[in-house]
Structure 1
Amino acid sequence: MTDNIFAEDYGRLIVQGADQPGIVSRVSTVLAEHGANVVALDQTTSDPSGGQFFQRTVFHLPELSVKREALADALDQSLVDDLGLSYRLVEAKRQKRVAILVSKSDHCMLDLLWRQRRGELRMTVPMVISNHPDLGDDVRQFNIPFFHVPVEKNNKEAAEKEHLNLLKGNVDMVVLARYMQVLSGDFLGEIGVPVINIHHSFLPAFMGAGPYQRAKDRGVKLIGATAHYVTEDLDEGPIIEQDVIRVSHRESTREFQRRGADVERSVLSKAVSWHCDDRVIRDGNTTVVF
């Protein structure tokens, strides 16, 4: 698609719910009745008989900001009341506000900031938060506020309270760009926005510290990365993107780490981009990615 679909008067409509005849027609009819022109449409079903339906529609509607409320009212009646579906209506010009949490490893954070500055990621970054001060100067070079919030081993609640003070109401998503702390269920419930994490794809085989060395010692032939939504179940949330590369006995542990970092950057940037463009639909513990 061309860049103009992120400009004024372009919208995205995300629909999901129990599959049934006539959903695509109903969506198209409501949009057409309000003067919208569909420019892209993706839809799928988990099972045409009793399954779940998912659709992402991109449309152009002159004066969308003015007409949005009336369009939403019509969608409420036609999709929610009549068909029992749920939907999200998004103005494409409104970039998502994405906060980044990081510890000491900089590769994923810097990649996101660089891509955002170049316009490859359609988002704003209101802040970067870290439990260490090490990356402050790197972040400030992007003219982005950096907050150092230490995490005391026996008082993580205090750090999460400070995180909530900074984040709540100010962001649409949080990205853990190698943030090496576990977020509590209370925090996830109160933050009220999606949280995306990135980690190596050795899990669950090589949990904890030094995974690349232990993977090297076992002679692994594939290394990779997983980006997923964060839930209370550690590293078990719905997966957005994964990728792998081949390695052999010839590479050192340091080379494993370097190549693993490359995959992590690529996988995380794709996951963040897709979420920001409303291409990811969550369905329980799985995802549909258009």
Structure 2
Amino acid sequence: MESVRAILLGSCRDQKGVVASLSRFIYEHNGNITDADQHRDPEADIFCTRLAWDLDGFRLPRDQISQEFAATALKLGLTWDLHFTDQRPKLSIWVSKQDHCLLDLLGRQRSGDLRAEVGLVISNHADLASIADQFQVPFVHLPITPETRLEQEKKALALLRQYKVNLVVLAKYMQVLSPGFLKVFPHVINIHHSFLPAFPGAGPYHQAFNRGVKIIGATAHYVTQDLDEGPIIEQDVGRVSHRDTVKDLVRKGKDLEKIVLARAVYQHVERRVLVYGNKTVVFD
């Protein structure tokens, strides 16, 4: 069996001795670093790091690591999160009527390629209930209208608490979440069917077709109150030509959407994404 590791994600003002201080903390408690990565953003004067180490032989019980590390973090001015590899995040996938991203994520989870638990599927339409049933995942239908949106979001938040969900994945949900929802539950990843910042909002394939583009793309990003402007996790592109119709662009785009969303969710659940400002560092 794979040994359990601790993963530290952290960022602070760029300064001398950060790597030495973090390594010393792990070394002094008999830790063996198995993975170390770092990034320096000179324009923002930010240092970012991801450190992983084995818990086998580590002298601190895991429930005491955060408390003991706090003094080191305070000295460095470090913003940090600590995770453990045996704690699998629980996802809620939100969909509307398109099934390609849902099927892809559920298939990856079942095969073990995505080390997370899908606890719940929520949709504003009932069309994809049979897919959730096929994968033995609870499905909840919450119809959305302008008049019922806020009330349905309250119900959704209650379900997220009930199922102890850590991350919401908007897998072609096609609805805009309210600022109130995001204030209570900010851990949301969305897939947008264009290479942002090009063609934000609705109808990006039609926008791309009308501009005669030669490439189309897909972007996975964290959701913020600013539509399609959250920190970008993953992107990819594919070539199109003047012979392609809007339908062709949509067909080719769906393949990109599946791949890009799966990569972004994978990087998140593997604790490889660090956000600072409106940017991300992805330690791949």
Give the TM-score normalised by structure 2.
0.93
1:243 aligns with 2:270: no
The CA RMSD over aligned residues, in Å, is 2.0
- Cα drift, residue 43 of structure 1: 0.5
Tell me the residue number matched to 1:261: 254
Whether the 8 Å CA contact 2:191–2:219 is kept in 1: the answer is yes
What is the CA deviation profile of residues 89-142 of structure 1, one whole-angstrom value per residue up to 9, with x for unaligned ones?
Answer: 111111111111110011111111111111111110100000000000011101
Distance 1:15 1:97 in 2: 22
Q: Rate the CA distance shift 1:203–1:22 in 2: closer, same or farther, 3 A.
A: closer
Tell me the residue number matched to 1:104: 97
Distance 2:223 2:195 in 1: 17
Within 5 Å, which residues of 2 pair with 1:78-93?
78-80=72-74, 82-93=75-86
Tell me the residue number matched to 2:17: 22
**Where in structure 1 do 4 or more consecutive aligned residues deviate above 3 Å?**
63-66, 202-211
Distance 2:282 2:6 in 1: 18
Distance 1:112 1:14 in 2: 25
Distance 2:72 2:198 in 1: 48
Whether the 8 Å CA contact 1:40–1:57 is kept in 2: the answer is yes
Query: 147, 151, 163: which one pairs with 1:154?
Result: 147
Distance 2:112 2:217 in 1: 26
What is the CA deviation profile of residues 5-24 of structure 1, one whole-angstrom value per residue up to 9, with x for unaligned ones?
Answer: xx342111112111111111
Structure 1 residue runs of 5 or longer lacking an equivalent are none
Whether the 8 Å CA contact 2:91–2:118 is kept in 1: the answer is yes
Q: Rate the CA distance shift 1:232–1:73 in 2: closer, same or farther, 3 A.
A: same
- Cα drift, residue 211 of structure 1: 3.6
Q: Rate the CA distance shift 1:267–1:22 in 2: closer, same or farther, 3 A.
A: same
1:52 aligns with 2:46: yes
Whether the 8 Å CA contact 1:174–1:194 is kept in 2: the answer is yes
Matched residues, number: 282
- Cα drift, residue 74 of structure 1: 2.3
Within 5 Å, which residues of 2 pair with 1:262-277?
262-277=255-270
- Cα drift, residue 215 of structure 1: 2.6
Which amino acid in the other structure matches residue 70 of structure 1? Q
Tell me the residue number matched to 1:138: 131
1:180 aligns with 2:171: no
Whether the 8 Å CA contact 1:9–1:65 is kept in 2: the answer is no
| 3-state DSSP of counterpart to 1:125 | strand
What is the CA deviation profile of residues 71-100 of structure 1, one whole-angstrom value per residue up to 9, with x for unaligned ones?
Answer: 2222101122x2221221111111111111
1:33 aligns with 2:28: yes
Query: 280, 283, 288: which one pairs with 2:281?
Result: 288
Whether the 8 Å CA contact 1:140–1:146 is kept in 2: the answer is yes
Structure 2 residue runs of 5 or longer lacking an equivalent are none
What is the CA deviation profile of residues 216-256 of structure 1, one whole-angstrom value per residue up to 9, with x for unaligned ones?
Answer: 23321110101100000111111111111110012232221
Whether the 8 Å CA contact 1:202–1:211 is kept in 2: the answer is no
Query: 41, 45, 61: which one pairs with 1:67?
Result: 61
Q: Rate the CA distance shift 1:209–1:22 in 2: closer, same or farther, 3 A.
A: closer
